[in-house]
A = this chain, B = another copy of it.
Amino acid sequence: PSAALREQARAHQAQLTKPAGALGLLEDLVIELAAMQHCLRPTLERVQISIFAADHGVAAENVSAFPQAVTAQMVDNFARGGAAISVLATELDAHFEVIDLGTMLPSAPHARVRRERIAAGTANFAQDAAMSAAQLASALGSGHAAVQRARAQQAQLFIGGEMGIANTTSASALACLLLDAEPQALVGRGTGLDDAGLAHKISVIGHALDRHRPHCGTPLEALARVGGFEIAALCGAYIAAAQAGLPVLVDGFICSAAALAACRLQPGVRDWLLFSHCGAEAGHARLLEALRARGLLDLQLRLGEGSGAALALPLLRLACRLHANMASFAQAGVSGRD
């Protein structure tokens, strides 16, 4: 991001007909977008939403309230327009695509679904490493390729989303490794576990961490040991977006875990990330803290699919319009402070 544009945008904000700082976080956001887009009046008309879907071997440990078949079923639902993120993408006039990185059951062919299947889900990380180094490279590459498509579309913002039954288990384990934390502090109810289910999930993750921790000295090793194809793809996408100078709006808990992995791999990635919300999952606030970030929304969301980022997009767009279209004190003939 450009420090010069950041200062120009800040000076422009200070002239608009409102008390200084009266638009709160929206002022900070638009100033940062100006620095990212190298443009005094940033815009977010062209947005790409890429949803990465994959299954997780650890679902065999009964860590989710939903059966594993739902991942492929939801890929179909994304494509046919019935899922939350499909409805939001239409309303927001965003470019929307789904990338099947490996569901257990095959998803139906559909023009909106890219089939970049790595395997029929990861291995069960309660027993083995979730994926091989080659599989990790493929997943990172799928994320990278999604950002290249966004650039080809001249997208001004990239939103990544995810779908994968049991992927809060994977993201929680990854967060524990990256933050050197115990699962009690980070693990939540996912799609809706009860107390017993939550205790079991914590136990499964705890035992898996005992097994994998000695082999997770780097973020890539942690991703391969306990991550998912979609989580690795998001990590790859965030790194590619930063390299391309494309702003990213990060969704919820799982995306934030991928974002932290990306920032640990390349600290410069952080400068290109905006954070849409702090959701209901227990570890989300801890991840945002580690990323020195504050979410724009706090609506107790826990859906994933990129839906929190999509919901925050209108606020960012309005912030851009206010910044671009409000009159200055001089233009409007309004007196400044006494």
Partner-B contacts on A (CB < 8 A): 16-26, 64-67, 69-70, 73-74, 76-77, 80-84, 87-88, 90-91, 191-192, 279-280, 296-303, 307, 310-311, 314-315, 317-318, 321-322, 325-327, 331-338
Q: From DSSP, what is the main secondary structure of chain A's interface residues?
A: loop
User: Min CB distance, A51 to chain B, in Å?
Assistant: 14
- In the complex, what's the smallest C-beta–C-beta distance from A13 to chain B, in angstroms? 12
CB of A259, distance to nearest CB on chain B (Å)? 21
Contacts of A77 in B (CB 8 A): 17, 327, 332, 334
Determine the distance from Cα of A73 to Cα of B329 in the docked complex, in whole angstroms: 10
Q: Which residues of B contact A66 (CB under 8 A)?
A: 19, 335-338
A84–B334 CA distance with the chains assembled, in angstroms: 13
**Cα A97 to Cα B23 with chains together (Å):** 21
Closest to A297 in B: B297
- Contact A315/B322 with A19-B191, A303-B22 known, Cβ cut-off 8 Å: no
Q: How far is the CB of A151 from chain B (nearest CB, A)?
A: 27
Q: CB-CB < 8 A to A338: which residues of B?
A: 64-67
* 24 pairs of residues in contact across A and B, judged by CB atoms under 8 Å: A16-B84, A17-B74, A17-B83, A18-B83, A18-B303, A19-B303, A20-B192, A23-B303, A23-B307, A24-B279, A26-B299, A65-B337, A65-B338, A66-B337, A82-B326, A82-B332, A84-B326, A87-B322, A87-B325, A88-B318, A296-B299, A299-B315, A310-B318, A311-B318
For A302, the chain B residues whose CB sits under 8 A away are 19, 21-22, 24
